[in-house]
Amino acid sequence: MKASPADQRRLLEVAELDTRIRTADAARRNPPQAARVQELIARRQELSSELTTRLGIRDDLRADLARIESDVAVVDARRARDAERLSSTSNVKEAQGLESELGSLARRKSDLEDAELEVMERLEAADSAVAEQESAIAETNSEGARLSAEAKRAVADATAVFEAATRDRAAVVGGIAPDLVVYYDRVAARSAGAALLRRGTCEGCRMVLAGTDLQTVRLSAEDAVITCPECGCILVRTEESGL
């Protein structure tokens, strides 16, 4: 294939714009914050599951405490009733029975108070565990919100670069022979597309051309479109090529 040296040189700009387009497209599809955001989503699910467990434990302890407090209230009511009856009775046998019951109620209340103290201590620990978990979730949500906002900005910036580079490419390609553009696009599907031959080295793959390959390039016509024997991209020759 043949093309003017000027058109071939313009391919370097097209290749640079293509690289910019690919980089920007990758950045907008997968911003750098995306992986960490996904980790935080999974982490939040784990924390939320554990919070549900801790809330269940706390609720059970609150229910136990409420039951004990209710039992204490019943005991207190019975003690008050028995004490009132004892103070007003003149029946010795009845008085003895009331005193015995009051003793049992006192022991019952002591047991309930011990149990109440134990549950209150456990409830305090459960409250702390819930607060700790809620704090961890809040921190995770905060980091996730911050990174999501950063990701949106990164996507917007990458999209702007992508769109600008796409417009620039269309403008540059519009000034190049159509058949050369078609050939370049076909080559670019499997290589850098086009690269400068600088001092005998292909800048597309960074490989130094062998002596025979370099000699073939030297003998090629100025308008001949040649490709790198290593990576297949179009080799653009300039005064820097070392020919």
162 lies in a domain? no
- Asked if 228 and 202 count as a contact pair (C-beta separation under 8 A), the reply is yes
Q: What is the CATH number of the domain that holds 102?
A: 1.10.287.1700
Residue 59 in domain: yes
Q: What is the pLDDT of residue 194?
A: 96
* Average pLDDT of the chain, as a whole number: 94
In a domain, 160, yes or no: no
Q: Specify whether 110 is located in the same domain as 217.
A: no
**pLDDT at res. 91:** 83
109 shares a domain with 9: no
Any domain includes 168: no
Residue 90 has pLDDT above 90, yes or no: no
Q: Does residue 74 share a domain with residue 16?
A: no
Instruction: Report pLDDT digits (tens) over 217-240.
Output: 998 999 999 999 999 999 999 988
Residue at 83 is within a domain = yes
Q: State percent of the chain over pLDDT 90.
A: 85
Residue 104 per-residue DSSP state:
H
Report the number of distinct structural domains present in the chain.
Answer: 2
Residue 242 has pLDDT above 80, yes or no: no
Domain span including residue 194: 5-26+174-237
Task: For residue 17, name the pLDDT band (cuts at 50, 70, 90).
Answer: very high
Number of other CB atoms surrounding residue 242 within 10 Å = 15
Residue pair 223/5 in contact by the 8 Å Cβ criterion: yes
Same domain, 109 and 91: yes
Report the pLDDT averaged over residues 185-211.
93
In a domain, 182, yes or no: yes
Report yes or no: 183 and 191 within 8 Å, Cβ to Cβ. no
